[in-house]
Structure 1
Amino acid sequence: RGERRAFAWGYAISTFFALMSVYWYSVSIPYLLTRLAWEYIEVHAASPPDEEHFYIVASLFWGNLCAYTGGMIARRWYRKTVTEAKPSAT
């Protein structure tokens, strides 16, 4: 139960930061990787997707990746603190 709660809090907090990162968009590594991917697709695809749709999907991908990673970090932190709090059985 505590792991799920920690994951949910981490996911929610990371989602907030992922949404706020839209304002810091122009200098981030995800943005630069997305631009490179778009340029590659535009040159090599027979019928590339619309640029707007591509960026919507890319932002959903990066936002979900950020939020899920934050949730997993919070879950790991919770496990570590619970393990350290338990006395050893020796």
Structure 2
Amino acid sequence: MAFAVCVGDISTHGGGIVGPGSATVQIGGKPAAVAGDMHVCSLPPSGHQPTVSVFPSGSGTVLFGGVPALRTTDGCLCGAMAAVGQTTVMIG
């Protein structure tokens, strides 16, 4: 099981998850992050690593507003994942 991710959480590349997030689910007062949300990477852009990239997929079993929930184990296209996530919510 992994922790849920929210808009505003920091990534393993030092950037942040910018959303837009779920319109119907909040965790700790922040919109829950879902598949399709964007990440702004703090590493310099390169041929294989864009500045802004998408989280293409999330949980196969938990949906927020009909969209797969993001977990700390889900990666975005630049390779980053959420660094910590919301430690009060675990998603299997």
Task: Give your verdict on TM over 0.5.
Answer: no
Larger relative strand fraction:
2
Q: Which has the larger radius of gyration?
A: 1
Larger relative helix fraction:
1
Give the structure, 1 or 2, with the largest relative contact order (CA under 8 Å, sep 6 or more).
Answer: 1
State the TM-score, normalizing by the size of structure 1: 0.24
